[in-house]
């Protein structure tokens, strides 16, 4: 059953000078880490409380320029979880397209926020791994985000074996028979592993993709928070987009331990509480894509197994 979310309230967060005294109090739950504000000094910053444990931050950084949307999720709030969204009406094994906003609206659980997911083929299928409400729809080995029981994230190189059972990276079973289901969504490349950048983030091999500025979508986490990021791009006076090293720097400044790049370009979009809050780069607006990463809320997630960080 869908539960209504409280109406968002907007909070203007004062920017603190980098030379402030060392006895600064701990940061508030709705304040971004100072390391991010130093790395990407904004000329404006808005923070919106979307739901218990969820904040949407928007930074406008003149150096770039960058327009950065950051969804901050408190991992101790047990009602919150990550799930894979698929196009409405698509059957198991089929390809298909839909806007992220439509996937969020039609998802069976209440969706707090969403971003676009994996890269995709012209046939409407993900190019990486997907295991979600339609079962296993794609098995290609690549970097991926796996989530066990909606609450335990893992990022790494993942594939699904021929039996459709084990996710090769963490060794989790998609359905182990113990009620702890695993969902998987692909992306590439992996940005951070145990807090360190993964190689050169494909800059040398694919400079026009990794070393040029484009709209970007990504997800990362540490022991306490999940961070979902969308960076607007291809809008000259608004936001240029980011290179993959610049995107990795965002997650480093947030303190993330693991991070994964999702599809970007015209696919990049962030939906919060049913509203498209980012500025998609396509002239026609939000692009139809093949899957989405959804932040959902459901009290049933609180009783579904361990909530400790993934391996």
- Assess if residue 59 is contained within a domain: no
**Can you read off the two tokens belonging to residue 280?**
């998609």
- Assess if residue 20 is contained within a domain: no
- Assess if residue 8 is contained within a domain: no
Other C-beta atoms closer than 10 Å to the C-beta of 171 total: 9
**Can you read off the two tokens belonging to residue 236?**
């000259």
- Assess if residue 93 is contained within a domain: yes
Sign of CA dihedral 260, 309, 55, 149: positive
- Assess if residue 273 is contained within a domain: yes
- Assess if residue 35 is contained within a domain: no
pLDDT tens for the 311 residues of the chain, in order: 333 333 333 333 333 333 334 444 455 556 899 999 999 999 999 999 999 999 999 999 999 999 999 999 999 999 999 999 999 999 988 999 999 999 999 999 999 999 999 999 999 999 999 999 988 888 887 899 999 999 999 999 988 876 656 787 777 888 665 556 899 999 999 999 999 999 999 999 999 999 999 999 999 999 999 999 999 999 989 999 999 999 999 999 999 999 999 999 999 999 999 999 999 999 999 999 999 999 999 999 997 544 333 33
Say which residues have a Cβ less than 8 Å from residue 209's Cβ, sequence separation at least 6: 202, 244
Query: Between β-strands 182-186 and 190-193, what pairing exists: parallel, antiparallel or unpaired?
Result: unpaired
- Assess if residue 47 is contained within a domain: no
Closest CA to 296 of 142, 84, 128: 84
For 86-129, the pLDDT digits (tens) are 999 999 889 999 999 999 999 999 999 999 999 999 999 999 99
Number of domains in the chain: 1
pTM: 0.88
Q: Note whether 269 and 230 are within 8 A (CB).
A: yes
Closest CA to 86 of 185, 227, 230, 229: 185
What confidence score (pLDDT) does residue 174 get?
A: 80
What confidence score (pLDDT) does residue 92 get?
A: 86
Q: Note whether 300 and 80 are within 8 A (CB).
A: no
Q: Which ranges of 111-184 would DSSP assign to H, the alpha helix?
A: none
* Domain ranges, residue 272: 75-224+233-311
- Assess if residue 209 is contained within a domain: yes
What confidence score (pLDDT) does residue 16 get?
A: 36
**Chain-centre distance of CA 179, in angstroms?**
25
């Amino acid at each position: 059953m869908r539960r209504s979310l409280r109406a968002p309230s907007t909070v203007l967060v004062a920017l603190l000078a980098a030379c402030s005294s060392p006895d600064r109090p701990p940061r508030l739950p709705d304040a971004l880490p100072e390391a991010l504000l130093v790395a990407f000094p904004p000329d404006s910053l808005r923070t919106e409380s979307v739901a218990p444990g969820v904040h949407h931050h928007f930074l406008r950084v003149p150096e770039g320029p960058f327009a950065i949307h950051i969804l901050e999720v408190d991992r101790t709030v047990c009602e919150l979880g990550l799930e894979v969204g698929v196009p409405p009406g698509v059957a198991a094994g089929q390809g298909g397209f839909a806007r992220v906003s439509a996937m969020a609206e039609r998802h069976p659980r209440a969706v707090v926020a969403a971003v676009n997911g994996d890269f995709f083929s012209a046939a409407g299928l993900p190019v990486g791994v997907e295991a979600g409400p339609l079962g296993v729809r794609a098995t290609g080995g690549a970097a991926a985000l796996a989530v066990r029981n909606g609450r335990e994230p893992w990022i790494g190189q993942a594939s699904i074996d021929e039996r459709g059972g084990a996710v090769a990276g963490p060794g989790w079973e998609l359905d182990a028979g113990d009620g702890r289901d695993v969902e998987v969504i692909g992306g590439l490349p992996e940005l951070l592993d145990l807090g360190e950048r993964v190689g050169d983030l494909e800059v040398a091999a694919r400079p026009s993709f990794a070393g040029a500025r484009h709209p970007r979508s990504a997800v990362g986490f540490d022991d306490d928070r999940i961070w979902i990021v969308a960076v607007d791009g291809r809008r000259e006076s608004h936001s240029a987009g980011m290179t993959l090293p610049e995107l990795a720097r965002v997650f480093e400044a947030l303190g993330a331990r693991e991070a994964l790049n999702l599809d970007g370009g015209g696919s990049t979009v962030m939906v919060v509480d049913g509203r498209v809050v980012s500025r998609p780069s396509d002239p026609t607006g939000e692009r139809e894509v093949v899957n989405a990463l959804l932040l959902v809320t459901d009290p049933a997630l609180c009783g579904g197994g361990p909530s400790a960080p993934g391996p």
